[in-house]
Amino acid sequence: MRLKFTYRQNKFQFISWLIATPIVFAICKWMLPQLPSSAMAFDGFWVNKVYEKAENDVVFIGDSRVYRGINPHVIDSILDIKSFNFGFSSSGLDTFMLNRGLEKLKPNGKKTIVFGLSVNQFLTWSLANGHYHSLLDLKPSDVFVRKYLYSHLKFADPYGMSDFYYLYKGEKYFETFYPDNGYVASNKLPMDSTAALEAYEKQFAKAEFGEENFKVLLHRIKELQKEGYRFYALRMPCTHAMWQLEDSRFIGQMKKLMSELESNKVRLLDVQGHFTSYDGSHLTAKSADILSGIIANKMR
Amino acid sequence: MIFNSIPFLIFFAIFFAVWFAVRKKQSIKYIWICLMSFFFYGFWDWRFLFLLIGTGSIDYWCGKKIAEGVHKKAYLYLSVISNLGSLALFKYSGFIAENLDGLLSLLNVQSSFKASIPEFSLVLPLGISFYTFNSLSYTIDLYKDKAKQADSWMHFMAFISFFPHLVAGPIIRAKDILGQLKKNKLVKHVEIWNGIKTCLWGCFQKMVLADNLAVLVNDNFKQISNLNDSLVWWLTMFAFAFQIYFDFNGYSTIARGLAKMCGIHFKLNFNHPYIANSFGDFWSRWHISLSTFFRDYVYIPLGGNRHGKINTEKNRWITMLLSGIWHGAGYTFLFWGALHAFFLSVESALKLKKHLPQVLMKVLVFVGATLAWVLFRAENIQDAISIYQKMFSFQIETPLIEILKSSAIIWLFLGMVLEWMKYPSAIKKIAQNNWIQVLFWSLVLVATILFRGPEQQFIYFQF
């Protein structure tokens, strides 16, 4: 549609547009529903986790069950230390991730690594660590923008059509990001403790357990223990149905793995307690605090 | 850096601020364009900056010799070899080597051409397909006396490297741009405002329409073997047809807007291709800068349609196959070009435009182009065949209501409205109102910020 305007009209439009746009933006933001989670905070959080030089006494390594399930604030307040949550989405546990986790420890601190274990971490497709590598592939300018600017640009969080659909259905996925310690407090309403089962069942159908990789990892652990590093491990809690699914497919491997860790002086933490999962795999923020308290007391 | 990013906003703000001070001083103007454009390009990978400068320098020197009239043909050939050679090395060497190895293995001959290719040549330099063609247009037009020689090396490099068009087009001709760069044109406020509006529209197309449609397309292409629903695949391909259109048109529109703000006019690169009433018309509306390049430098020199029907068909097929392979070193792109050549041939032979109603032709062209996009998007021929089989199986597994729940439907619908709607005169009258304009462009910017899809790379960056 071609339109023609005079010079004065164009000048008027340009100046008015400069003034009107922030007003229109504010009105739109006021009219739109509040999003339960911030995409800008999400991007900034992950960049901080990878690129922030942190100095900690204890580092928790694992997948999404770890980064949503272990709250370092609780651990720090009980043990009077500085801990860091080094969990990543669908993260595999191998020497590469262990070495990256070690970089987050301070040289003269407690030099402690805690593995939050789940079956998924030892499956061959997880060992590619796609999430972590995608963050390593970011250009320096992208890292800078996400690290320093995104936290101030949360007002510009985008809305997807699915956001409106879920809000209309009454579904909300809450996330609060803690870039200082790598933890994400999360919750989902309404809760459905079987939601993740189908996806895991499909994944497990074509997955293989990376046993060779685990042998290499054990060897590295032994080397580090000689240098004074301490290791703990726990099987991350989830629903009974999820554990049953995992055990039905990989019980032999997980039992063997836990026993080999124990025989190699990795202290296993028995974390019995009443926990709630909002999807069958991940703990609610309240349960994450409970779990963290138990971990801290077991580590005393 | 991509146009829709914070680093680019900062970059352009700096460029533009200084541009106003230097635009009347020719030599400084060229230096500023070159410096900033080299920085823009080097931001991606500084190592390939030397390729851009190197091939550009060869073409400038060849152009100088051609203009002097000494051994014109030889220097033209040198320019062509330099440009097509670098394209062949970086874009096609892996493909050629792989096929040679395959061919020789069929004859039971051991070879490892692919393995012997140096690693650096397997990296595709950003924008190589575009700036080599820009450069070629200079030497070819000089040879044909259709263009004037650049004033200086800086003048020429400013044309080649001007950042709005450098990495993903439009393919600009030396005769169109060299003169504009030379002029000390005062950029009026009107042009700046028009440039801003053009950029806003481009950003909306790319960030809202294309990036949101990409979510559905990428998700479904990740699960080709599991997804068998015919309706879902048709929807996916319609979504891709609009994704690639808004992605590429969005980029071209932003490029035009940025150039406009600097007082440089780029020609339109897309003209509502999905309202084309024939395949020939489609190619006069889709990626116009590329199709006119192939028309002027391949089709017409081969003879065009001037030497009988058989030669016309031969020239058409050569042009379309080259156009296909320009897009990528792969059989899917070759077959994409071939499919469009086939459509053009059938349309010409059966005189479809003459015999069929216009509405039916428009539908045929859109559906034909959509079917061709399967080859463009698929990773390989096997995936493309699989998708065609699913599209024509007419097997419906997913209830329609579930399909309609997909958020991409809304963006697809909006895209179709923007592309196909004829605006009644009443709307044009309303749109002429100043306050409506202010509100509209405010909403475009706000919508671009608040409804942008997950960031996707511009599709044509891979070419």
Closest residue of chain A to B5, computed from CA coordinates: A142
Tell me the residue length of chain B.
463
Put simply, whether B21 touches A (Cβ < 8 Å) is: no
Q: Could you read off the pLDDT of A66-83 as tens digits, one per residue? A: 999 999 999 999 999 999
Mean pLDDT of A4-25: 91
Put simply, whether B439 touches A (Cβ < 8 Å) is: yes
Of A23, A145, A165, which has the smallest distance from its Cβ to B7's Cβ?
A145
Q: What is the pLDDT along chain B (463 residues), one digit of tens a residue?
A: 888 888 999 999 999 999 888 888 888 899 999 999 999 999 988 888 999 999 999 999 999 999 998 899 999 999 999 999 998 888 888 888 888 888 888 888 887 877 777 777 677 888 899 999 999 999 999 999 999 999 999 999 999 999 999 988 899 999 899 999 988 777 788 889 999 999 999 999 999 999 999 999 999 999 888 888 999 999 999 999 999 999 999 999 999 999 999 999 999 999 999 999 999 999 999 999 999 999 999 999 999 888 898 999 999 999 999 999 999 889 999 999 999 999 999 999 998 888 889 999 999 999 999 999 999 999 999 999 999 999 999 888 877 777 776 778 889 999 999 998 877 777 788 888 899 999 999 999 999 999 999 877 777 776 6
Of A10, A25, A162, which has the smallest distance from its Cβ to B446's Cβ?
A25
d(CA B96, CA B321): 16
Phi, psi of A166 (to 5 degrees): -70, -35
Q: Could you write out the DSSP letters of every residue in A172-235?
A: EEEEEEETTTTEEEEEEES--TTTTHHHHHHHHHT--B-HHHHHHHHHHHHHHHHTT-EEEEEE
Q: Which of A4, A10, A145 has the highest number of chain B CBs within 10 A, making it the mutation to test binding with B?
A: A10
A75: Cβ contacts below 8 Å, ≥ 6 apart:
A58, A81, A83, A292, A295, A296, A299
Do A11 and B428 make contact, defined as CB atoms within 8 angstroms? no
Phi, psi of A175 (to 5 degrees): -145, 130
Q: At what angle do helices B434-450 and B189-203 cross, to 10 degrees?
A: 40
pLDDT level of residue A292 (50, 70, 90 thresholds) = very high
Classified as helix, coil or strand, A123 is: strand
Location of structure tokens 């690639």: B244
d(CA B320, CA B401): 40
Task: Reply yes or no on whether the pLDDT at A143 is more than 80.
Answer: yes
Put simply, whether B1 touches A (Cβ < 8 Å) is: yes
Q: Could you read off the pLDDT of A152-183 as tens digits, one per residue? A: 898 999 998 888 888 888 888 889 999 999 99
Q: Do the strands A183-189 and A172-178 form a parallel or antiparallel pair, or are they unpaired?
A: antiparallel
Supply the pTM of this predicted model.
Answer: 0.89
Put simply, whether B70 touches A (Cβ < 8 Å) is: no
Residues of chain A positioned with their CB less than 8 A from the CB of B257? none
Of B189, B450, B453, which has the smallest distance from its Cβ to A11's Cβ?
B189
Chain A: which residues have CB within 8 Å of chain B?
Answer: 1, 3, 5, 7, 9-14, 16-17, 20-21, 23-25, 28-29, 32, 141, 145, 149, 156, 158-162, 165
Query: Looking at residue B88, what DSSP letter applies?
Result: I
> What tokens were used for A271?
């974390």
Output the pLDDT for position B190: 84
d(CA B450, CA A103): 37
Output the pLDDT for position A1: 66
Output the pLDDT for position A197: 85
Residues of chain B positioned with their CB less than 8 A from the CB of A28? 446, 450
Nearest to B76 by CA among B136, B131, B145, B134: B136
What one-letter code names the amino acid at B403? I
Put simply, whether B445 touches A (Cβ < 8 Å) is: yes
Of B194, B428, B450, which has the smallest distance from its Cβ to A28's Cβ?
B450
Location of structure tokens 């609009």: B242
Nearest to B150 by CA among B320, B160, B10: B160
For chain B positions 247-306, those within 8 Å of chain A (CB to CB) are: none
Q: Could you write out the DSSP letters of every residue in B186-212?
A: PPPHHHHHHHHHHHHHHHIIIIIIIHH
| Peptide bond just before B357 cis, omega within 30 deg | no
Output the pLDDT for position B463: 67
Among candidate residues B155, B165, B327, B340, the one labeled active-site is B327
Task: Reply yes or no on whether the pLDDT at A19 is more than 90.
Answer: yes
Query: Looking at residue A33, what DSSP letter applies?
Result: P
pLDDT level of residue A201 (50, 70, 90 thresholds) = confident
Nearest to B440 by CA among B191, B195, B204, B247: B204
pLDDT level of residue A186 (50, 70, 90 thresholds) = very high
Strands of A112-117's sheet in order across: A83-87, A58-62, A112-117, A230-235, A267-268
CB A173 within 8 A of CB A37: yes
d(CA B177, CA B155): 10
Do B434 and A12 make contact, defined as CB atoms within 8 angstroms? yes
Residues of chain B positioned with their CB less than 8 A from the CB of A159? 450-451
Do A7 and B452 make contact, defined as CB atoms within 8 angstroms? no
**Minimum distance, in Å, between the CA of residue A268 and any CA atom of chain B:** 39
Q: Could you read off the pLDDT of B10-56 as tens digits, one per residue? A: 999 999 999 888 888 888 899 999 999 999 999 988 888 999 999 99
For chain B positions 145-204, those within 8 Å of chain A (CB to CB) are: 188-190, 192-194, 196
Residues of chain B positioned with their CB less than 8 A from the CB of A23? 442
Residues of chain B positioned with their CB less than 8 A from the CB of A141? 1, 5, 7, 43
Of B212, B438, B449, which has the smallest distance from its Cβ to A20's Cβ?
B438
Q: What is the ipTM, given to two decimal places? A: 0.86
User: Is B327 annotated in the active site?
Assistant: yes
Output the pLDDT for position B239: 95
